[in-house]
């Protein structure tokens, strides 16, 4: 959903800790002061010091594991620390001790929603409401969950109930206003935002939302007033500066718009919409070099964005930087081979460089693609086909940055292999360079450490064919075993890697890491060869090449299934099987394996991302967007783009 429509987190709602602990619980062991540890843990949580609260509550639980509120408190601390599996264990333990403890159901509902378990989230929050039917807190959470599941009419009913119970809760009015906006009730939304402001005039968010709505209605005077007020209240609110920049732009106050976008980038230096919009204004104000700088920076942040490459190539061509323009437009075509205008622009560049034959070929292909899309009844890309490559207007928070936001789900199916998240492979680097990854437990790290690579460490990470090789080793005899295999593989020296791997497997063919390394080496070699051939044959795969690569994937899938039967490595093996099934276009099987991986390890963000893609192409938008948003929460940057393209609500 657009960032300016995201609901206030239920974390802002009071925790309402109504705990009654029997005195006998605290006096049974005179030497241990349970009330102190309990109330100290509660105090730390109320202040947001979750990390400090956990050891305090560990001590209390260690002394008396029958205090259900202690399990709940530790679950809250773990929840806000991002340890969702640990939080869920604690909430369930709390409920096993006291099945009537309603707040544990509420937090379980929030947790289920974050992990994409929509039905379970609804069931859990309804249990909390059954226990306390007049709880504004639980009904508010219910409304948030319904909104996130895009059930806007039901969410409106829930927020209405909250307001009927207690009309003094500003966030209830704020979120009901946003819900009304999603139901096209702009007047109701403004009224609700105004009530939220009256209830709490010192909160910036209602001013930003009302200001953005005024801006959409082209009531720029009221919009600027609200946005100025928001910035006075909170000068670090990037969204307020961004929205005000749009208003200044439409008022032709371009320098003010530039200043506000620069302020956004000071607060959020990777804000892609701010970079894109600033590039447009630089271009419009006769400063193409600054536009090039912003687009170049943007292309490094989101390299899969075809429009950025296209516009950057257009301006570079306009400035006479033909070689750089050619390099950039080639990237655009690689990202989205069906974009007609990219071929037309490349034809112009080739003609300027004297490549008449190449220009004619690109011109013919561009015209063919343009006609193909013009003939489509749904006109997916007609508005873009007729563009000139010039940066014409700013994008708002409700819009997407990429041309592929206009691509239908059917086209996503044909493109999915280009945006799939890659396998998790083994890598090697100097020990001091290897940072722990949140989705790898201490058991996994200990297993990898047992390989003994001297000053090097092997670790799991997502694969990349473009990864930089590690520095040369002076003494190649200083490492051995799979460490040496990985060293060769990382340098794309596959013949040497396979030769060394044969020696390793001869010594210990039952070792899980050895067998996994063998499969990973063959997968990466097959992908490297296919990628090399594609580049040299202008992306035209022969049917024989397709057959060879699919056969390699099928063999790898079977090998990984044999490894998985002995050790699934906390979801890593099932995840890799899912990726290979997608590459082999066995999407139903891939869906099952990603679900299996998530059940084992909910922190593998690639599994949420890839499963989200599969749900999207199966037209299960709600499930897909829920998974993709979870991937974003776990740090998957690529998922942000897909959410922006396909999850507008």
Tokens describing residue 307: 């429009």
Predicted local confidence at residue 478, as pLDDT: 58
Predicted local confidence at residue 194, as pLDDT: 97
- Cα 25 to Cα 21, 123, 142: the distances in Å are 7, 33, 34
Q: Which residue has the higher pLDDT, 539 or 607?
A: 607
Does the structure show a pLDDT above 50 at 443?
yes
Does the structure show a pLDDT above 60 at 390?
no
Secondary-structure percent of the chain, ordered helix, strand, coil, rounded to 5: 70, 0, 30
The DSSP string of 60-74 is HHHH-TT-HHHHHHH
Does the structure show a pLDDT above 90 at 82?
no
Report the C-alpha dihedral over residues 292, 297, 300, 302, rounded to 10 degrees.
Answer: -90
At 378, the pLDDT band (50, 70, 90 cuts) reads very low
Does the structure show a pLDDT above 90 at 304?
no
For the chain, the distance separating the N- and C-terminal CA atoms, rounded to the nearest angstrom, is: 4
Distance between CA atoms of residues 48 and 53, nearest Å: 9
- Cα 365 to Cα 236, 343, 371, 539, 585: the distances in Å are 48, 7, 10, 14, 27
Q: Are strands 456-462 and 424-430 parallel, antiparallel or unpaired?
A: antiparallel
Burial 562-579 (b: 16+ CB within 10 A, else e): ebbeeebbbbbbbbbbbb
Q: For 461-487, what is each residue's pLDDT tens digit?
A: 888 644 445 555 545 555 677 788 888
Q: Which CATH architecture has domain 418-646?
A: Alpha Horseshoe (1.25)
Predicted local confidence at residue 3, as pLDDT: 36
Q: For 197-243, what is each residue's pLDDT tens digit?
A: 999 999 999 999 999 999 988 899 999 999 999 999 999 999 999 99
List helix spans (H) across 251-339: 254-267, 272-284, 288-301, 306-318, 322-335
Average pLDDT over residues 11-40: 51
Does the structure show a pLDDT above 60 at 269?
yes
Of the candidates 331, 355, 329, the one whose C-alpha atom is nearest the C-alpha of residue 344 is: 329
Residue 179 in contact with residue 158, Cβ under 8 Å?
A: no
Percent of the chain with pLDDT over 70: 81
Of the candidates 80, 82, 132, 68, the one whose C-alpha atom is nearest the C-alpha of residue 106 is: 132
One of 1.10.3720.10, 1.25.40.10, 3.40.50.620, 2.60.40.10 is the CATH number of 3-165, namely 1.25.40.10
Of the candidates 46, 48, 47, 37, the one whose C-alpha atom is nearest the C-alpha of residue 70 is: 37
The residues of the chain that CATH labels 1.25.40.10 are 3-165, 279-407, 418-646
Does the structure show a pLDDT above 60 at 309?
yes
Predicted local confidence at residue 374, as pLDDT: 58
Average pLDDT over residues 67-79: 95
Report the C-alpha dihedral over residues 628, 634, 639, 644, rounded to 10 degrees.
Answer: 70
For 279-407, CATH number? 1.25.40.10
Distance between CA atoms of residues 53 and 78, nearest Å: 9
Q: What's 208-236 look like in SS3?
A: HHHHHHHHHCCCHHHHHHHHHHHHHHCCC
């Amino acid at each position: 959903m657009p960032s300016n429509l995201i609901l206030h987190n239920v974390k802002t709602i009071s925790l309402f800790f109504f705990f009654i602990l029997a005195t006998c619980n605290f006096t049974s062991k005179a030497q241990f002061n349970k009330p102190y540890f309990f109330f100290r843990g509660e105090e730390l949580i109320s202040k947001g010091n979750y990390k400090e609260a956990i050891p305090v509550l560990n001590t209390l639980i260690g002394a008396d594991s029958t205090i259900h509120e202690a399990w709940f408190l530790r679950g809250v601390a773990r929840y806000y620390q991002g340890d969702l599996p640990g939080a869920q264990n604690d909430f369930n333990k709390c409920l096993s001790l006291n099945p009537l403890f309603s707040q544990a159901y509420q937090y379980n509902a929030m947790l289920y929603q974050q992990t994409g378990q929509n039905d379970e989230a609804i069931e859990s929050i309804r249990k909390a409401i059954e226990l306390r039917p007049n709880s504004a807190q639980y009904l508010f959470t219910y409304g948030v969950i319904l909104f996130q599941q895009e059930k806007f009419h039901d969410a409106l009913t829930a927020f209405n109930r909250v307001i009927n119970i207690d009309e003094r809760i500003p966030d209830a009015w704020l979120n009901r206003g946003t819900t009304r906006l999603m139901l096209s009730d702009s007047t109701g939304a403004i009224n609700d935002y105004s009530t939220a402001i009256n209830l709490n005039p010192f909160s910036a968010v209602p001013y930003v939302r009302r200001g953005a709505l005024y801006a959409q209605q082209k009531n720029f005077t009221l919009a600027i007033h609200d946005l100025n007020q928001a910035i006075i209240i909170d000068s670090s609110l990037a969204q307020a500066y961004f929205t005000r920049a749009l208003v200044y732009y439409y008022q032709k106050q371009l320098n003010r718009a530039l200043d506000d976008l620069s302020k956004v980038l000071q607060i959020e230096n990777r804000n892609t919409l701010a970079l894109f919009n600033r590039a447009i204004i630089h271009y419009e104000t006769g400063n193409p070099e600054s536009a090039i700088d912003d687009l170049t920076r943007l292309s490094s942040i989101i390299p899969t964005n075809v429009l950025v490459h296209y516009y950057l190539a257009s301006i570079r061509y306009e400035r006479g930087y033909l070689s750089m323009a050619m390099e950039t437009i080639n990237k655009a075509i690689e990202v989205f081979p069906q974009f007609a205008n990219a071929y037309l622009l490349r034809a112009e560049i080739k003609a300027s460089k004297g490549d008449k034959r190449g220009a004619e070929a690109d011109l013919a292909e561009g015209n063919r693609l343009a006609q193909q899309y013009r003939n489509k009844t749904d006109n997916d890309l007609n508005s873009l086909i007729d563009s000139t490559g010039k940066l014409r207007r700013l994008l708002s928070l409700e819009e997407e940055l990429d041309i592929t936001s206009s691509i239908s789900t059917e086209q996503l199916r044909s493109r999915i292999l280009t945006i799939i998240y890659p396998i998790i492979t083994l890598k090697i680097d100097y020990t001091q360079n290897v940072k722990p990854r949140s989705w790898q437990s201490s058991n996994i790290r200990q297993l990898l450490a047992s390989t003994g690579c001297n000053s090097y460490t092997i670790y799991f990470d997502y694969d990349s064919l473009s990864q930089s090789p590690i520095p040369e080793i002076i003494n190649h005899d200083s490492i051995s075993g799979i460490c040496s295999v990985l060293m060769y593989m990382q340098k794309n020296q596959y013949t040497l890697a396979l030769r060394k791997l044969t020696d390793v497997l001869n010594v210990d063919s039952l070792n899980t890491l050895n067998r996994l390394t063998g499969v990973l080496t063959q997968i990466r070699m097959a992908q490297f060869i296919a990628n090399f051939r594609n580049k040299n044959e202008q992306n035209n795969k022969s049917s024989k090449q397709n057959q060879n690569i699919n056969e390699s994937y099928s063999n790898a899938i079977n090998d990984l299934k044999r490894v998985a039967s002995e050790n699934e490595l906390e979801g890593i093996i099932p995840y890799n099987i899912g990726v290979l099934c997608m590459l082999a276009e066995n999407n139903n099987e891939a869906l099952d394996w990603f679900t299996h991986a998530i059940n084992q390890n909910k922190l593998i963000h690639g599994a949420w991302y890839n499963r989200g893609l599969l749900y999207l192409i199966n037209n299960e938008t709600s499930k897909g967007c829920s998974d993709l948003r979870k991937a974003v929460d776990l740090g998957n940057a690529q998922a942000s783009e897909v959410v922006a393209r396909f999850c507008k609500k």
